[in-house]
Amino acid sequence: MKWARRLGGRGAADAAAAVVVALIVGYAIVDPPGPSSWWPTWSAWPVAAVVGFPVAVRRLWPRAMLGLSCAAGVLATVAGAVAAGVIWLSFVPTVLALYLVAATATSVGWSVAGLAACAFAAAAAVLVFYAQVFPGLAPAATPSELPPYWPIEIGAICVLLAVGWTVGTAVRWKRDTTARLVHHLAETAVADERRHIARELHDVIGHSMSLIAVKATVANHVADARPQEVRAALAVIEQTSRSTLAEIHRVLGLLRSDGDPHQADLPVPGLADLPELAAGARSAGVEVDLTVREGAALPPAVAVSVYRIVQQALTNVITHAGPTRCSVSVDIDGRAAMIEVVDDGPRHGRPPRAGHGGHGLIGMRERAKMYGGTFSAGSRLAGGFRVAARLPYDPDGTLT
């Protein structure tokens, strides 16, 4: 049945709880601490079953079962089917249903209204019982240590209802807070991934387009006088374009991978690709002196960041200072990766085309910050520009 599938394992637990509650209520009616009900003894079990039934299906219709359990407790009390001194037991199913309403209600107003209505109805039923039914009951065979007293009954019921409502409200608040936190973390992860993709595309396209622009300019100026240089420039442009398309395909593949193992096997740049990076800068007129000292193996994630920082720094040199001379130093000591890129500034006294600022420096700084490292960039007193970064890491590749 559909309702049975909806209940699942929790339905079995609720059914067991309903049986336990019915047994306790039935036993309290049969052997109460105060005067017994004037109803026949056998009627205690049908009454207990009716009172406890809402507990079994409260998850299907929480509000309806709250009303039914409260109505069953009120009717049993007013009709005298319960015993003096244990009337509060008849409202335990109401407490359990109120807890579920408070835990699942979309608005606190619903649960507050349920709490107030149930407390008022129970208190009125107890007062009617002690005013109309209790005087006609036969005295108990043995005096009770705690004689029946309506304020105690009403107080116990109200305390139980308040506890049920408070616990249910706390559960709902915790659930809502957790859901909001998960949603916030998901949005943050998406935003971080977007920034990561944008940073990767900026580094790839910025570097490649700088090379292409320089080579296209050279080819345009010497097209008539030196056709061989034009062919060489076009060859560089072709090679750079192909490698750029491959890099863009790799980066965009991150957006489509979604756990695809074939996408996970796409190669990523690292220290081994730095010589090719330097060669590309040399073809654009920058004399690059590359020095890589690897004292220990570098984790792949750190290697990608090192490559991207060097790539962006060389892009800035090509764009703003080339042709010039530039030294690139990468030092790996097992605890941190130190990067330094220094250029001599434009030759022949030509002023730089623009400052070394923009998104490139922002991206390099973000990469260093991601590892808790440091980053600095600025003009040198002797001329030129210097970029330095330090990326600390643990030998196992985790952030420090």
**What pLDDT, on the 0 to 100 scale, is given for residue 329?**
92
CB 244 within 8 A of CB 208: yes
Which position has the higher pLDDT, 26 or 336? 336
Average of per-residue pLDDT across 70-96: 84
Q: What is the pLDDT of residue 224?
A: 63
Most confident of 225-229, 274-278, 329-333: 329-333
Cα gap 204→243, rounded to integer Å? 9
Residue linked to tokens 């330094």: 340
Structure-token match 């090509």, residue found: 318
At residue 81, does pLDDT exceed 70? yes
- Residue 214 has a pLDDT of 65
pLDDT at 351 over 50: yes
Rounded Cα distance between 152 and 125, Å, is 14
pLDDT digits (tens, 9 = 90+) for 48-75: 888 888 888 888 888 888 888 888 888 8
Q: What domains appear along the chain, each with residue ranges and CATH number?
A: 2-184 (no CATH), 284-400 (3.30.565.10)
Write down the pLDDT at residue 147.
62
pLDDT at 1: 47
Q: Which helix (H) or strand (E) holds 239?
A: helix 227-257
pTM comes to 0.51
Q: Which residue has the higher pLDDT, 118 or 268?
A: 118
In sequence order, the β-bridge partners of residue 337 are 332, 391
Residue 303 has pLDDT above 70, yes or no: yes
pLDDT at residue 340 greater than cutoff 90: yes
pLDDT at 389: 92
Q: Which amino acid is at 325?
A: R
Lowest mean pLDDT among 6-10, 186-190, 193-197, 337-341: 6-10
Residue 105 in 3-state DSSP? coil
Instruction: Tell me the pLDDT tens digit for each residue of 370-392.
Output: 788 899 988 888 888 999 999 89
CA dist 112 and 235 (Å) reads 77
Cα gap 198→251, rounded to integer Å:
9
> For residue 57, which of 13, 91, 106, 123 has the smallest C-alpha distance?
13
Per DSSP bridges, beta strands 286-294 and 324-332 are: parallel
C-beta neighbour count of 313 within 10 angstroms: 29
Side chain identity, residue 22: A
Q: Are the CB atoms for 301 and 391 separated by under 8 Å?
A: no
Location of structure tokens 């608040």: 173
What pLDDT is attached to residue 387? Answer: 92
Residues 113-162 have pLDDT tens digits of 888 888 999 889 888 888 887 776 666 655 555 567 778 888 888 998 99
pLDDT band of 3, cuts 50, 70, 90: very low
* More confident site: 110 or 6: 110
**Burial grade of 260 (CB within 10 A; 0-12, 13-18, 19 or more):** exposed
Percentage, residues of the chain above pLDDT 70: 67
- pLDDT reading at 314 higher than 70: yes
Angstrom distance (rounded) from CA 268 to CA 258: 17
List the single range of 105-109, 303-307, 378-382 with lowest mean pLDDT: 105-109
Average pLDDT, the chain: 76
Q: Is 291 helix (H, G, I), strand (E, B) or coil?
A: strand
Quick one: which of 24, 13, 114, 19 has its CA closest to 62? Answer: 114
User: What phi-psi label fits residue 262: left (phi over 0), alpha (psi between -120 and 50 degrees) or beta?
Assistant: alpha
